[in-house]
Structure 1
């Protein structure tokens, strides 16, 4: 075999190595946004569960405080106002996280 026979073989293996490196770089580039999206979903899930538990405890505490401090004829009005505030706060938080995921 001559030197010219080995030269194309080296070039072919170099081309194969370059193609493999390009594939690896492409996979790494597409993994970043996917991992970020899954992390955002995980954050949304954890925040949702945390908010659920906190809202239940807060609701029970505020209901108890309303029963203690507010006259019976105004209790339903205060309960409704409190429920509205909780709903609006949850809506703002969820919409912010969904905008991060899809927008």
Structure 2
């Protein structure tokens, strides 16, 4: 059984291609430490991906700031809430208060 399902449909009203949310029901570890920032958005944005069991992640802090719009974008928060172990590159020790709103389990 595949771990993800995606369905692309052509909207007949405006002929634009749109994607449904991709679900990764068994993904518990996600390494986004050295990827293009578009992948951060693709996996962390709840309008694009559903990660119900994600508990460990590696991210680049500066790309995370960009994707979350300085931790103000609600669409990213949902997939980050259950993360219990977060590795951040580069190592940063002091985070904004909004950072902890995203990562409630830290």
The TM-score, its normalising length taken from structure 1, stands at 0.22
The TM-score, its normalising length taken from structure 2, stands at 0.22
Which structure shows the bigger proportion of residues in strand conformation?
2
Higher RCO by CA contacts (8 Å cutoff, separation 6 or greater): 1
